[in-house]
Structures are given as structure tokens and as C-alpha cells.
């Protein structure tokens, strides 16, 4: 029993924790035994509810991801489970294929977080794990054998990549995007080898842009000034109808209109939901209030930030409405029910996806900028204060919860206000302006979301808020 390890003990000592979407931590903390502990605890947490003999695994393009996948696969084989390895693919491609095949899966990805970190996302045969599943993983006292020094090589299976592409090719005619000129900002996205071929098969003229051999952590909620300039320059140079990109694991879309302006993720989600005739939505509290003001939906339920909270609302909404969906301010679109698109059935995919909203917007005859003019004039801005300890964020929020008036005076407001504590601290002023502060769930960062009837005001609110906080 000397080489027997206990999952909960190994995980607790690692310092790796669950955030808004998956377990995240420093690469150096994802040792083979820690990765094994998470994989085995995941299987123990769900095995009584499902019948399966195979687990699917895929990775993003981070250099550390393959070794973590090897460790997970080796651990699963200790429990006499077969492993199918789908290589580097987007998270929704893995989830879709695994759901089709009735098996659980593990995605090795740190999504958008910095290069020195990585993570694991877990999916049951019916979709993302719940918050209760997360707690079961952390508390698992299952034992396993310490992993050997040398781990077996994994061999790519192309099945998930093919199935994911076919999901969308089967919905649209081969000329659906005919005449459209699209740039794909590939960087190090896990889906970069899928998108160009997919959009070309739908009739578009596609250009690859910005491919990188080094991993680039793209945050779709806090687009860098450099990437804003890139999109503007590419748009002028190539005269694109749109530019498409995603975060590292391809579940959050980043789309620029024909002028090279990146769309906010929640506005993209709103447009997509309108085009799909969705009846009811579940969205995080941080999303733009234009969603309700559009009067496009029978119900909009606001949740804490994170796809598990959004997905948790689907069961109740599904009892009342035939078409349900959700999305986040970062753009990840979650289809909560099967729906008809172009007279064909599109199966539910209860995890964030980047491809569906991109195709829908581009399949419209109107330019994207024209589609945006039909929405209520509500503008949001967001950014993050990096290397800001979570404890400091919580202390700040507790202070503002008691009385935010002096803070608001520094921002230039002497108005009545209300506070929403659904997730972080969301202050809504009497004139409708909003400032929302929230500690990141998986990094030492403080996020700020602002909303106003003026784009300039929203941007200035974020800048001024961080200036005040930084002192």
C-alpha cells in the first residue's frame, strides 16, 4: 500500500481549485499524480449515475497539455477504462462527440488564463459537470497507484473533429456564406485547424491570420489593445465581412464586424438568440441589459457568472419553454434544447460553443454592423486588474456593500443607487449606469464590468474605477 495515493489528499495539497469553468492552477502544480487524482475522482463522482467503459480526452495547444492528458489516460486505465484521445480540438467538439457517444470526457485546457497555468474541464455523458460534482471530486477518498515515470504515448483519433464540423455542415447549404470574405485570427486556438475548412465548405472566401507557434492567452472579455488594432488593420487591408477568432480552447467566440470592431460577447449572444427564435434565456448577471430591453424573449433568468450556473437553470426553463439557450458576457453560446434551423434539427449542446453564433451572423445578408443598429443602445466595457489578490477584492467588495456613496462620488456620481450581490458587487445608478466588480474565479484578478447608454461613458467608468482602486 506504500504507493497508494488518496485523490482528495493529493488534490488538496496541489493548490489547484475549481473556478467558473473547470479546475485551474499553475502548470508546475499539475504533476502526473495530481492530474491522475482529478481524473479518477471525476469518474468516481459520476460512475453510479451513468454506464460507460470509455472516456474521451482532448487538449488545447498549451505545451503542458499533452503531458497532463497522458497522466489522465494512464490513471483511467488503472480503473480498466478505455481512453479515446482526440488530440487538439475545441472543447465543444470534444463535448459534442462524447455526448453523442454516451461517454464522459476530460478537456485539458487553461482557456484564456496566462501561459504558466493550465486546467481541466470535465463532462458527464449528458454535459458539463455540476457544482455538486465539483465538490464530490474534491472530497473523493478513492485511492490510486502513483504513476510511473514514463507515460504511454497517445494517438490522435479524428472522429470528434469530423463530427463537430458535420454538426454545422448538415444545417446549411454549401453556398450559405457565398460571397462572404472572412478572416480567421488563428493565433494558438485549439480550433484553428477546423474553422478555415468549415467556413470554406460553407462557401466563404477565408484568410488565415496571425497563426502562432507559441501559446497566446486570448481573453474574449478583455481584448488587448494590440488585438483591437490588428482587427482594424486587417479589416482595412482585406475588406473583410467579418473576422473570427476564439479563446484558447475554442468555446468562446470573438467576432469583428466589417469595420474591424470586435463585438461584445453578450451582444453576439443576443443577436444569435434572436436569429434562433429562442423563447427563454439563462445568462450571467454581468450581461448587457439590452437583452431584456430588446423584448425578444419570454423570460430572461440571470445567474451567477460561470457556465455551470447558466446550465443549471435549463431544467426549470425547459419545463415552460420549447427553445432555451444561454450565453455569457465572454461570448460562449450554450444551446439548452434541440431546435429547428433551416428546417433541420440542431441537437442541444449544453456547453459553450464559438461556431454557431459566427455562422448565424454571417449567413445573414445584412452586414454585421447593420444588425447591431437594431438593438437597444446599451454599451458595456470590461477589463481586469491583474495581480490583484482575491482577498483584496473581497475586502473591497465588503466595504462597498456597506456604503458605496463615497466611491461613486469619486466616479462623478451623486445619485441614488441599488446593489446586486448575485456575483460580486453590481451597482446600478439612478440614471441606469452600472459598475460591477467581481474577483476572478481562477486567477488573482479583479474584473470590472461597466454599462451605460454611451460607449465612451462605459469605457471611462472601467478606467476610472481601476484608477480609484489602484489608488
Question: Active-site residues: which are they?
Answer: 111
Task: Report the alpha-carbon distance of residue 134 to residue 280 in Å, rounded.
Answer: 27
Task: Report the alpha-carbon distance of residue 108 to residue 65 in Å, rounded.
Answer: 6
Q: Where are the alpha helices (DSSP H) in 331-454?
A: 355-363, 368-372, 390-402, 405-411
Q: Is 229 helix (H, G, I), strand (E, B) or coil?
A: helix
Residues 420 and 437: beta-carbon distance below 8 Å? no
> What would the grid cell of residue 65 be?
497539455
Residues 427 and 408: beta-carbon distance below 8 Å? yes
Task: Give the bridge partners for 99, in sequence order.
Answer: none
Task: Give the bridge partners for 259, in sequence order.
Answer: none
Burial of 275 (0-12, 13-18, 19+ CB in 10 A): middle
Give residues with Cβ within 8 angstroms of 176, minimum separation 6: 202, 203, 359, 363
- Which single residue is written with the C-alpha cell 461584445? 264
DSSP one-letter string for 402-456: H--HHHHHHHT--S-EEEE-SSSEEEEETTS-EEEEEE-SSSSEEEEEEEESSHH
Q: Is 271 helix (H, G, I), strand (E, B) or coil?
A: helix
Cα torsion angle, 91, 451, 223, 18, sign: negative
Give residues with Cβ within 8 angstroms of 126, minimum separation 6: 50, 99, 350
Residues 401 and 426: beta-carbon distance below 8 Å? no
Task: Give the bridge partners for 283, in sequence order.
Answer: 302
Residues 144 and 37: beta-carbon distance below 8 Å? yes
Task: Report the alpha-carbon distance of residue 253 to residue 247 in Å, rounded.
Answer: 7
Give residues with Cβ within 8 angstroms of 297, minimum separation 6: 273, 278, 279, 280, 281, 291
Nearest alpha-carbon partner for 217 in 238, 239, 254, 247:
247
- Which single residue is written with the C-alpha cell 493529493? 10
Amino acid at each position: 500500500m506504500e504507493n497508494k495515493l488518496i485523490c482528495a489528499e493529493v488534490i488538496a495539497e496541489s493548490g489547484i481549485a475549481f473556478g467558473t469553468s473547470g479546475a485551474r492552477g499553475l502548470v508546475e502544480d499539475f504533476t502526473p499524480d495530481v492530474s491522475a487524482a482529478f481524473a479518477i475522482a471525476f469518474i468516481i463522482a459520476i460512475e453510479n449515475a451513468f454506464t460507460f467503459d470509455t472516456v474521451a480526452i482532448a487538449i488545447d495547444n498549451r505545451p503542458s497539455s499533452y503531458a497532463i492528458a497522458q497522466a489522465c489516460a494512464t490513471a483511467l486505465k488503472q480503473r480498466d477504462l478505455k481512453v479515446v484521445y482526440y488530440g487538439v480540438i475545441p472543447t465543444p467538439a470534444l463535448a459534442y462527440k462524447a455526448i453523442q457517444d454516451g461517454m464522459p470526457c476530460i478537456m485539458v485546457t487553461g482557456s484564456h488564463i496566462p501561459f504558466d497555468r493550465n486546467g481541466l474541464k470535465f463532462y458527464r455523458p449528458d454535459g458539463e459537470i455540476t457544482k455538486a460534482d465539483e465538490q464530490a471530486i474534491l472530497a473523493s477518498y478513492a485511492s490510486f497507484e502513483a504513476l510511473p515515470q514514463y507515460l504511454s504515448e497517445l494517438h490522435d483519433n479524428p472522429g470528434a473533429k469530423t463530427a463537430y464540423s458535420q454538426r454545422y455542415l448538415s444545417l446549411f447549404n454549401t453556398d450559405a456564406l457565398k460571397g462572404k470574405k472572412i478572416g480567421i485570427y488563428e493565433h494558438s486556438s485549439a480550433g484553428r485547424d477546423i474553422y478555415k475548412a468549415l467556413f470554406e465548405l460553407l462557401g466563404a472566401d477565408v484568410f488565415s491570420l496571425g497563426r502562432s507557434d507559441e501559446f497566446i492567452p486570448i481573453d474574449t472579455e478583455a481584448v488587448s489593445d494590440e488585438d483591437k488594432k490588428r482587427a482594424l488593420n486587417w479589416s482595412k487591408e482585406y475588406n473583410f465581412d467579418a473576422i473570427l477568432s476564439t479563446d484558447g480552447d475554442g468555446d468562446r467566440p470573438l467576432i469583428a464586424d466589417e469595420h474591424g470592431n470586435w463585438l461584445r460577447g453578450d451582444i453576439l449572444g443576443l443577436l444569435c438568440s434572436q436569429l434562433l427564435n429562442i423563447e427563454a434565456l439563462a445568462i450571467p448577471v454581468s450581461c448587457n441589459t439590452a437583452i431584456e430591453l430588446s423584448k425578444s424573449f419570454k423570460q430572461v433568468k440571470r445567474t451567477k457568472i460561470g457556465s455551470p450556473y447558466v446550465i443549471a437553470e435549463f431544467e426549470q426553463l425547459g419545463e415552460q419553454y420549447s427553445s432555451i439557450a444561454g450565453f455569457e458576457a465572454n461570448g460562449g453560446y450554450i444551446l439548452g434544447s434541440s431546435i429547428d434551423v433551416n428546417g433541420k434539427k440542431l441537437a442541444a449542446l449544453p456547453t459553450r460553443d464559438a461556431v454557431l453564433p459566427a455562422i448565424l451572423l454571417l449567413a445573414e445578408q445584412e452586414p454585421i454592423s447593420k444588425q447591431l443598429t437594431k438593438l437597444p443602445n446599451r454599451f458595456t466595457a470590461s477589463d481586469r486588474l491583474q495581480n490583484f489578490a482575491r482577498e483584496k477584492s473581497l475586502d473591497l467588495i465588503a466595504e462597498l456593500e456597506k456604503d458605496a456613496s463615497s466611491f461613486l462620488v469619486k466616479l462623478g456620481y451623486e445619485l441614488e443607487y441599488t446593489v446586486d450581490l448575485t456575483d460580486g458587487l453590481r451597482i446600478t445608478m439612478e440614471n441606469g449606469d452600472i459598475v460591477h466588480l467581481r474577483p476572478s474565479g481562477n486567477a488573482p484578478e479583479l474584473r470590472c464590468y461597466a454599462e451605460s447608454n454611451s460607449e465612451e461613458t462605459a469605457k471611462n467608468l472601467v478606467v476610472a474605477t481601476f484608477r480609484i482602486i489602484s489608488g
